Amino acid sequence: MLALLASLLLAASQFAVNGPIPNLDVVKREIVQYYTSGQHDADVARVDARMQTDVDARVRAGARKPAAVFDIDDTALSTFTYERAHDFGFDDVSWTSWERADRFPAIVPTLRLAQHLAHEHIAIFFVTGRRAPERGVTLHELALAGYPKPAGLYLRPVNDHASSVIPFKSSSRAHIVALGYDIVASVGDQWSDLRGGYADSVYKLPNPMYYLP
């Protein structure tokens, strides 16, 4: 009984310190409002503009063989309509159906950033947690959305079952560097897109819909 009371008191103290857990329905409505109000695009545009300014400065300073690395989902292409339609969940069957139907539109500020960088002769690479069999449909989606033809597209191998995507993404950037490129910037919507080195600067876009380790 004393042990139970102690655990209840501990839980109560943690609740008092951390505050009440938000209601899930309220959080979902707030996320929908964040996207449909245009605030998400505005926040993305601010980050992308900072990256563009920084990369332009690096190029003017004489960066040799500069490259930029982009994540895809919720960095280059938006999954918001999919997430909303599936109550912010995911399953392989519905995801594949949406891919094949070209239902993931460009995130416009990121599209403009990529187009600008390509115009400045900066190599564009995409490094994504999408799996290797999705290569064809992913290239099609990117081209349809208006993205420049990438210098390279790295997709996670099917047999990679690591608990985090960081090793895959980091090793992909390392491979790009080994090709002689200077990755002047890397942008993604998850910190796991960006950690692990092999980029001079990293830029985190907002994504309140999910977390990927």
- Whether 108 is in a domain gets the answer yes
Residue 10 — very low, low, confident or very high, per pLDDT cuts 50/70/90?
Answer: very low
Indicate which CATH number applies to the domain containing 115. Answer: 3.40.50.1000
DSSP per residue, 128-146: EEEEGGGHHHHHHHHHHHT
Could you report the per-residue pLDDT of 55-97, keeping only the tens digit for each? 999 999 999 999 999 999 999 999 999 999 999 999 999 999 9
Given the structure tokens 């490129």, which residue do they identify? 181
Average pLDDT over residues 44-61: 97
Is the pLDDT reported for residue 208 higher than 70? yes
Is the pLDDT reported for residue 173 higher than 60? yes
Is the pLDDT reported for residue 15 higher than 70? no
- Whether 3 is in a domain gets the answer no
Domain count, the chain: 1
Per-residue confidence (pLDDT) for residue 11, from 0 to 100: 40
- Whether 160 is in a domain gets the answer yes
Show the DSSP H helices in the chain as ranges.
2-18, 24-36, 39-60, 80-85, 92-100, 108-119, 135-145, 166-178
- Whether 212 is in a domain gets the answer no
Average pLDDT over residues 161-174: 98
Give φ, ψ of 106 to 5 degrees.
Answer: -65, 145
What rounded mean pLDDT belongs to the chain? 93
Per-residue confidence (pLDDT) for residue 7, from 0 to 100: 41
- Whether 213 is in a domain gets the answer no
In whole angstroms, what is the distance from residue 212 CA to residue 191 CA?
8
Residue 4 — very low, low, confident or very high, per pLDDT cuts 50/70/90?
Answer: very low
- Whether 12 is in a domain gets the answer no
Per-residue confidence (pLDDT) for residue 17, from 0 to 100: 53
Considering the chain, what percentage of its residues have pLDDT values greater than 90?
91
Residue 2 — very low, low, confident or very high, per pLDDT cuts 50/70/90?
Answer: very low
Q: Which domain holds residue 56?
A: 23-204
Average pLDDT over residues 163-185: 98
Report helix, strand or coil for 158: coil
